Chains A and B, each alone.
Chain A
Amino acid sequence: MNASPTFMDRAGALFHRYANPGRFLKLGAALQPWLTWPAIVLTLCGLGWGLFFSPADWQQGDSVRIMYVHVPCAWLASSGYAALAVCAVLSLVWRHPLADLAAVEIGPVGACVTATCLATGSLWGKPMWGTWWVWDARLTSVLVLFFLYLGHIALIRAFDDPQRGYRAAAILALAGAVDLPIIKFSVQWWNTLHQPDSITLTGAPTMSHAMLWPLLVSTLGFTLGFAAIVVARLRAGVMEHRIRSLLTSPRRGTSVNATLAESGAQELAV
């Protein structure tokens, strides 16, 4: 009987290669400086370029410079939620243990970025539209995304048994992913006050290259920064999990707890 591995088996084996926390911690420690330093340099260059050297818009004037902060945040708000949905698939289909921990860490960062996207959008809208907020399709769908992040954060911590929280939050992340195409296409499907996309995969950008380049640099810097923060939080999460498992294991528990009490780490004890 020849049982050749199926696609699902091969994909599961690939994903579980990094389910090993030790292997992940090594990979994370190696990746961290390669994410952090380029993120700092590119973000500072992009924002400095956008703030001081890029031209003002002929209609919007200098307030167009808010774009160099707002657009990267909007991109990361959607991408972060897409990452949550991928983690949900990895968790529900392959029971990948790091996918659950990654979902725990991505949620708060994604929520902060989405809140910043909404706030900077309001700060851009007030001088341009004359109002902080309108119930426009794009704005409302991003607000829904923010509530989905908050729901995910609350749900994943809502159960005494973490596995139940992971499972419930994964289902919410998958169901909420339907909001992503709504956000993307809202400016095409409905008449909105929000401007249509200036950059698309299929057409040439409708903005000047003098604005496009600082925007791309800033977006790349923000993206690497997002990844650096998530990797750092995930490394810390894996270590905290390890600490909890060491504290709850019976072997030499008394001496370990005494050592932790001395080092002020008692609050991590379960």
Chain B
Amino acid sequence: MTHLPYILAAYGLAGALALYLSIGAALRLRRDRARLATLEAARGRQPVDGQTETGRAGVSA
């Protein structure tokens, strides 16, 4: 099976990319959720995951 290194490299590359993107997205989401909750708490609002004033504010700052 002389092609094994190529096969393993292809699968390894795809696996590494998937882990990099998914872990990066999960950590970023967790960090932003915590920061937004801190901010909302400082402003005297309920912590949000899309359930309070976030909806009324609009994306445009």
Contact of A236 with B29 at beta-carbon distance under 8 Å, contacts A23-B55, A124-B6, A256-B39 already known = yes
| A241 interface contact, C-beta 8 A | yes
B20 to chain A minimum Cβ distance, whole angstroms, is: 8
For chain B, what secondary structure do more than half of its interface residues adopt (helix, strand, loop), or is it mixed?
helix
Complex formed: what's the CA distance from A64 to B37 in Å?
49
The count of chain A contact residues (Cβ–Cβ below 8 Å) is 61
The count of chain B contact residues (Cβ–Cβ below 8 Å) is 46
Complex formed: what's the CA distance from A188 to B3 in Å?
29
Complex formed: what's the CA distance from A225 to B18 in Å?
8
Note all chain A residues with C-beta closer than 8 A to B13: 69, 116, 119-120, 123
Contact of A23 with B38 at beta-carbon distance under 8 Å, contacts A62-B7, A66-B6, A66-B10 already known = no
Within 8 A of A (CB), among B36-59: 36, 38-43, 48-59
- In the complex, the number of residue pairs spanning A and B with C-beta atoms less than 8 Å apart equals 152
Q: CB distance A236 to B25 under 8 Å?
A: yes
> Which partner residue on chain B sits nearest A225 by CB separation?
B18
For chain A, what secondary structure do more than half of its interface residues adopt (helix, strand, loop), or is it mixed?
helix
Q: Per-position contact with B for A58-76: 1 when CB-CB < 8 Å, else 0?
A: 0001110110011001000
- 15 further A-B contacts with Cβ under 8 Å, apart from A66-B7, A123-B13, A260-B38, are A21-B55, A24-B50, A25-B49, A26-B50, A29-B50, A109-B21, A112-B17, A116-B14, A120-B14, A123-B6, A123-B10, A124-B10, A232-B25, A239-B32, A242-B48
14 contacts between A and B (CB under 8 A): A25-B51, A29-B50, A51-B7, A63-B6, A66-B7, A70-B10, A98-B59, A109-B21, A236-B31, A238-B54, A238-B59, A243-B39, A259-B39, A260-B38
* Residues on B facing A (Cβ under 8 Å): 1-4, 6-7, 9-11, 13-14, 17-18, 20-22, 25-26, 28-29, 31-36, 38-43, 48-61
